[in-house]
Amino acid sequence: MLVRNRSGVLSRVAGVFGRLGYNIESLCVAETINSRISRITLVSRANADFTDKIKKHLDRLVDVIEVTELKQEHSIQRETILMAVTLTPDNRRDVMQAVDMYGCKIVSIRDDYCIIENVANRGETQTILNYFKPLGIEELARTGLIALRQIQQDAGEEQ
């Protein structure tokens, strides 16, 4: 969603979900190139009817400029995660191998502990988390998805 960068806008957006009884799984917000406009990327689980309803309610908010649903097939979606993983003599090799295999980055490390960063789409992120979980994730920070509409390669190409 594109919204006017005014105090309270996030409250109102969250309020719409709260009032309709739906949970926001993740939310990422920041200014766009135009500092008066912010982009909110929000993930929530719902069926088609509800998505339609929530779009209308969000659209009705005075500070909301535009609401778009971004389907996976038609957008570039990315999430950054930071995992704090414990390092033990037992898991050290597995952790390093996993980092290698998935192309993650170790951004901080100590004998017993490291922080691993990864940027990927939703599916890949989940795969990585599933893999690292049994190895021992102490703490996890996620940005939630950000996304932009995919570029159409051909003028006539069907989306």
Partner 1 sequence: MNKTGADIILETLAREGVEVVFGYPGTNCLPILDRMSDSPIKHYLVRHEQAAAHAADGYARATGKTGVCLSTSGPGATNMVTGIATAYMDSTPLVALTAQVTSDLLGSDAFQETDIIGITMPITKHSFLISRVEKIESKLQEAFEIARSGRPGPVVVDLPIDVVTAQYEGTVKKKPTFAKKKAARGREIETKVREIARRLNEAERPIIMIGGGIKLADACMPVSELIEKGRLPFVTTMMGIGSVHSPNGFNLGFIGTHGSELANRAVHQADFILAVGTRFSDRSTSKIEQFAPLATIAQIDIDATSIGKNIKSDIALVADIAEAVRGLTPLIEKKQRSAWMDRIATERAQIEEKHLSNGFGQVASFIGAVQGIMGEDAIAVADVGLNQIWTLRSWRSNTPRGLLTSGGMGTMGFSLPAAMGATVGSPDRAVIVFTGDGGFFMNIQELATISYYNLPVKVIVFNNGHLGMIRQFQDLFYDARFNACKLGDKADITAIGQGFGIPSEKVTLADAITAIERMKQAAGPYLLEVFVDPDNYVYPIIPPGGSNIEMIYGRPK
17 token code pair:
């979900």
| Residue matched to tokens 């719902």 | 46
Residues 18-37 within binding reach of partner 1 (CB under 8 A): 19
Closest separation in Å from C-beta 151 to partner 1:
25
Residue 57 within binding range of partner 1, rule CB under 8 A = yes
Please say whether the beta carbons of 16 and 61 come within 8 A.
yes
Residue 8 within binding range of partner 1, rule CB under 8 A = yes
23 token code pair:
């949970």
Closest separation in Å from C-beta 6 to partner 1:
9
When binding is defined by CB under 8 A, the residue of 4, 45, 71, 74 that contacts partner 1 is: 4
Please say whether the beta carbons of 84 and 138 come within 8 A.
yes
> Are β-strands 24-31 and 37-44 bridged in parallel, bridged antiparallel, or unpaired?
antiparallel
Residue 31 or 52: which CB sits closer to partner 1? 52
Residue 92 within binding range of partner 1, rule CB under 8 A = no
Which residues are CB-neighbours of 82 under 8 A, at least 6 positions away?
Answer: 107, 115, 116, 117, 140, 141
Contact positions toward partner 1, by CB under 8 A?
4, 7-8, 11-12, 15, 19, 52-53, 56-57, 59-63, 65
